[in-house]
Amino acid sequence: MYEAKFGIAWDDKYKIGDENIDAQHKMLFDLLSVLVSQCIDGSCAEMLQDTLDFLVNYTLQHFSDEESLQNMYNFPGFKRHMRMHEEFKLLVGDLVQRFNENGSSRQLCDDVNKIIIRWLVDHILQEDRKIGQHIRHVSASPVSV
């Protein structure tokens, strides 16, 4: 574990057991920490815009990778999980729209912390963990011939 000045620090308790997805989750934590620090600072609107844009694009790629993994292992909660991803995309889209309309603000920073980071932590600990458990279960099952 390392300490993040703002946002959230990665910890091994967030690992679901897939190396690629775990690395992406860690990168999301790092990205959100940068985003929060930029919101707090408020002095670098262009960098904040770039970070928000990257967050949107990165999240789309991450969700696509995670959904591919679920398909590969026939995860039974795939459709429900995909709806959660769609909800998260709407939350991030709302932040981007608010930033585009009003710029950086203390409220935007608070919402990144309260809404986005909380959603991500809860999602990993409660939902993504189920995917990891399912993959381990399927991988440990004997192969029928």
Question: What pLDDT score was predicted for residue 108?
Answer: 79
19-140 CATH, one of 1.25.50.20, 1.20.120.50, 3.90.1150.10, 3.30.470.20:
1.20.120.50
pLDDT of residue 75: 93
What integer best gives the mean pLDDT of the chain? Answer: 82
The overall pTM is greater than 0.85: no
pLDDT of residue 2: 39
pLDDT at 92: 84
In tens, the pLDDT along 16-50 reads 888 988 998 898 888 888 777 777 766 566 777 77
Can you give the residue ranges of every domain in the chain?
19-140
DSSP 65-126: HHHHHHHHTT-TTHHHHHHHHHHHHHHHHHHHHHHHHH-S-HHHHHHIIIIIIHHHHHIIII
Q: Which residues contact 31 (CB under 8 A, 6 or more apart)?
A: 51, 54, 55, 58
Report pLDDT for 145: 46
* Digitized pLDDT (tens) for each residue of the chain, 145 residues in all: 434 455 678 889 999 888 988 998 898 888 888 777 777 766 566 777 777 787 788 888 888 999 999 999 999 999 998 899 888 888 888 888 888 888 777 787 788 777 888 888 888 889 889 998 998 899 887 755 4
Residue 42: per-residue pLDDT: 64
